[in-house]
Amino acid sequence: MKQANRERGVVIWFTGLSGSGKTTIAHIVEDKLIESGVPIEILDGDVVRANLSKGLGFSKEDRDTNVRRIGFVAHLLQRNGVFVITAAISPYQSIREEARAMIKDFVEVYADAPLEVCEERDVKGLYAKARAGEIKGVTGVDDPYEAPAGPEVYCKTDDETPEESAQKVIDKLVELKFLER
């Protein structure tokens, strides 16, 4: 597998609830692309929030600002031939559409799992804290998540393995001619 055109990067935009498997799948895709020699950068939501978006809260405005910043950095990298993976909840459809409009080659990946499954996988303890009333504004609990209407890749992460989901992403990149087998 290799990059189809050195001049053409792509943004692979993972979205889904916390605990849906976005980051796990993103890292498997990243590993496959690195093995193939494809220039790749991963923009994880938690890492970006700690560095590029430090000081932002979790209001809708702050979440949108965070996603805009991720989209802008992804755009800069993509236009220079880099494959970019973003793994951030990005809960609102309108801001994802704004990112899509800015980025020339955009592949949305929806990591979908029921809230109950995400709560079982809750490594950060966010859902437990939200249910206990310790924190507010947790997506899926007391803040909305707007599922994508037509993602390029749909991963039902409670029914498939992370490897199966990652392969769907790779297959779509081949289908869209971003990669060659």
Q: Hey, which residues are catalytic here?
A: 90
- Distance between CA atoms of residues 140 and 118, nearest Å: 10
Q: CB atoms < 10 A from the CB of 50, how many?
A: 10
Calculated CA dihedral for residues 32, 116, 123, 141, nearest 10 degrees: 110
Q: How would DSSP label each residue in 37-103?
A: T--EEEEEHHHHHHHTSTT--SSHHHHHHHHHHHHHHHHHHHTTT-EEEEE-----HHHHHHHHHH-
Supply the Cα-derived Rg of the chain in whole angstroms: 16
Which residues contact residue 61 at a Cβ distance below 8 angstroms, ignoring those fewer than 6 apart? none
Q: Please, what is the end-to-end C-alpha distance for the chain in angstroms?
A: 4
- Distance between CA atoms of residues 94 and 100, nearest Å: 10
